[in-house]
């Protein structure tokens, strides 16, 4: 992932804000849960895919943190480790959804 400044990250976030859809009701069968933790070292990321709330796949990553802590811009700090493992997901729908963040 390309290294960017906090100012560039804020500009990207503002541009993406208008793309959020807030309508309709969802009843998803397939859900991908993601989390990143970093404290005193590398970022540790996990993606768990569930179908009807039963886990069907999980991938993890451990990578160095490359973006500074900036309130409101955590995705720029936490997404790179997640995106690093997205390509390893066997679940095509979850993989395609998460890959959209790379092109944003």
Could you report the per-residue pLDDT of 41-65, keeping only the tens digit for each?
Answer: 888 888 899 888 889 999 998 888 8
| CATH code of the domain containing 77 | 3.30.2170.10
Total domain count, the chain: 1
Tell whether 64 is covered by a domain: yes
CA angle 99/103/13 to nearest 5° reads 110
Q: What is the pTM of this model?
A: 0.66
pLDDT given for residue 7 in this prediction: 93
Taking the C-alpha atoms of residue 68 and residue 65, their distance in angstroms, rounded to an integer, is 8
- C-alpha separations of 93 from 7, 69, 90, 98, 100 in Å: 32, 31, 9, 9, 11
Q: Using the 8-state DSSP alphabet, how is residue 85 labeled?
A: H
pLDDT at 71 over 80: yes
Q: Which domain holds residue 76?
A: 6-17+27-103
Tell whether 52 is covered by a domain: yes
């Amino acid at each position: 992932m390309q290294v960017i400044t906090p100012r560039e990250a804020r500009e990207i976030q503002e541009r993406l804000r208008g793309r959020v859809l807030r309508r309709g009701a969802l009843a998803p069968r397939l859900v991908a849960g993601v989390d990143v933790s970093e404290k005193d070292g590398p970022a540790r990321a996990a993606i768990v895919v569930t179908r009807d709330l039963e886990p069907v796949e999980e991938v993890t990553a451990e990578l160095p943190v490359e973006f500074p802590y900036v309130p409101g811009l955590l995705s720029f700090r936490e997404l790179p480790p997640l995106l690093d493992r997205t390509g390893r997901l066997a679940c095509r729908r979850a993989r395609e959804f998460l890959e959209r963040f790379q092109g944003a």
